[in-house]
Amino acid sequence: MAITLTWIGHATWLVDTGQGILLIDPFFDESPTASMTAGEVACDAILVTHGHADHVGDLVAVARRTGAPVYCNWEIAQWLGTQGIDNVRPMNLGGRTTVPGGTAKMELAHHSSSLPDGSYGGNPASWLLDVAGVRAFFAGDTALFADLERIGRRDANGRGIDVAVVPIGDLFTMGPDDAVEAVRLLSPQVALPTHYDTWPPIRQDAAAWARCVQESTGADARVLQPGERIRIEVVAESTARSASSASPPG
Ligand SMILES: [Zn+2]
């Protein structure tokens, strides 16, 4: 009943479910803040939110080297085929599929999506994971939108989101103020910021954001450094959840 999240930098994350490692939005070698190279990462599945270069920059290289299946929308799957990547699991908004350690549902995001060669990338998405007894939401690149409340709503078993990863960089995504409201709508136990500080135009004070989240939503907001990990543990079936301390980068 635990997963470990590693922030590689920018919007790239690893989710270790205990039954496999999920890689979200592979962007390593052109990222100024990535904590490892595309040639170093190990993963058992790759999940893609949308086609922008800062989310798929190393997708083809990592998919080719690792052979890991790529979960993505139909249009990105078609594009991967033209790049010689055939181990793809095309899906679309609202769909749920199995991934190592549980399930992944492709949820909404309000953004745009084109691929590095300019071709159409389909609809952008977020990912709602139910893995190893933990519910984790990766918002992807998105503006604030009201359906986040629906996504965060507790299910029939009283289970809501354990950890939510939301962009705070502004300019291309929601900024810090809207990201606080996003956390309020999602009502997770733990909130983590992403998609900021990679380049000067999206520089933000993540510590100030985290304090604001704690004060106005009650969620436990943590700020990681690139390469840092956090273990998210669900200790009882419904309400008692906790996050253990983040490990040092390395
Ligand atoms: Zn984008």
Do the bridges between strand 125-131 and strand 70-73 make them parallel or antiparallel, or are there none, so unpaired?
unpaired
Mean pLDDT of 142-153: 98
Pairwise CA distance, residues 89 & 237, whole Å: 31
Specify the residue for token string 């959840």.
241
- 188-216: average pLDDT: 98
Q: Using pLDDT thresholds of 50, 70 and 90, give the confidence band for residue 119.
A: very high
Residue 144 CA to ligand 1 center (angstroms) comes to 14
Determine the pLDDT at residue 240.
Answer: 45
Ligand 1: distance of its center to the CA of 173 in Å?
8
Residue 9 has pLDDT above 60, yes or no: yes
Rg of the chain on CA atoms, in Å: 16
DSSP string, 194-238: ES-SSSGGG---HHHHHHHHHHHH--EE--PPTT-EEEEEE-SSS
Q: pTM above 0.75? A: yes
**If you measure from the C-alpha of residue 195 to the centroid of ligand 1, how many angstroms do you get, rounded to a whole number?**
9
What's the gap in Å between 76 CA and the centre of ligand 1?
14
Directed axis angle between helix 206-217 and helix 176-186, to 10°?
40
Helix (H, G, I), strand (E, B) or coil at 47: strand
Predicted confidence at residue 246, as pLDDT, reads 61
pLDDT of 120 higher than 60? yes
Query: Cα–Cα distance between 108 and 148 in angstroms, integer?
Result: 9
Closest CA to 190 of 223, 148, 168, 159: 223
Is the Cβ–Cβ distance between 54 and 18 less than 8 Å? Answer: no
On the question of pLDDT at 245 being above 60, the answer is: no
Q: Separation of 9 CA from ligand 1 center, angstroms?
A: 15
Cα of 134 vs centre of ligand 1, distance in Å, is 26
Give SS3 for 29: coil
Q: What percent of the chain has pLDDT over 90?
A: 93
For ligand 1, the distance from its centroid to the CA atom of residue 111, given in whole angstroms, is: 7
Residue 100 banded pLDDT, cuts 50, 70, 90: very high
Distance of CA 24 to the CA centre of its chain: 6
Residue 238 pLDDT exceeds 80 = no
Predicted pLDDT at 178: 98
Task: Determine the distance separating the centroid of ligand 1 and the alpha carbon of 35, expressed in angstroms.
Answer: 20
pLDDT above 70 (res 24)? yes
Query: Residue 105: CB partners within 8 Å, gap ≥ 6?
Result: 94, 95, 96, 97, 127, 128, 129, 130
CA distances from 179 to 85, 86, 135 (A): 35, 36, 19
Per-residue pLDDT, 235: 83
pLDDT score at 50: 98
Six-digit token string for 65: 């080297």
CA 110 / ligand 1 centre spacing (Å): 10
Mean pLDDT in residue range 119-131: 98
User: What gap in Å lies between CA 63 and CA 153, rounded to an integer?
Assistant: 34
What kind and span of H or E run contains 84? none
**Residue 38 · residue 30 · CB < 8 Å:** no
**Interval 28-63: pLDDT, tens:** 999 999 999 999 999 999 999 999 999 999 999 999
Amino acid 75: pLDDT: 98
What is residue 61's predicted lDDT score, i.e. its pLDDT? 98
Across the range 167-185, mean pLDDT stands at 98
